[in-house]
């Protein structure tokens, strides 16, 4: 694995971890713990939590997609400049 693939794997892992943590702290925990919802009326909390969840989910999904693309893409082949110079001098 080259550096780009390692970076892509790390990006994908962190984005997936962020999605799971966001889902837990914005959706699951407030439903399980009613003291969180006591500071705001329930409708106000969900009016803030749902758009926030969807916005952050969109950004993290793009980061996940970029990371997976970096991980799956093979490294480019090295250029052989000697062959390029040889073919260039033959033309002249």
Residues with Cβ within 8 Å of 30's Cβ and at least 6 positions away in sequence, in order, are: 36, 37, 45, 49
Q: Is the per-residue pLDDT at 66 higher than 90?
A: yes
Gap between the Cα atoms of 61 and 66, Å rounded: 9
Domain span at 28: 3-91
Q: 27-47 pLDDT, tens per residue?
A: 888 888 777 667 777 788 888
Q: What is the mean pLDDT of residues 45-64?
A: 93
Is the pTM for the entire model greater than 0.85?
no
Query: Domain total for the chain?
Result: 1
Candidate ranges 1-5, 30-34, 59-63, 71-75; pick with highest mean pLDDT: 59-63
Q: What is the mean pLDDT of residues 52-56?
A: 95
């Amino acid at each position: 694995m080259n550096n780009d693939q390692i970076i892509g794997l790390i990006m994908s892992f962190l984005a997936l971890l962020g999605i799971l943590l966001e889902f837990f702290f914005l959706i699951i925990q407030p439903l399980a713990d009613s003291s969180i919802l006591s500071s705001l009326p329930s409708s106000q909390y969900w009016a803030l939590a749902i758009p926030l969840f969807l916005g952050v989910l969109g950004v993290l999904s793009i980061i996940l997609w970029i990371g997976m693309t970096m991980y799956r893409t093979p490294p480019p082949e090295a250029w052989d400049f000697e062959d390029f110079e040889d073919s260039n001098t033959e033309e002249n």
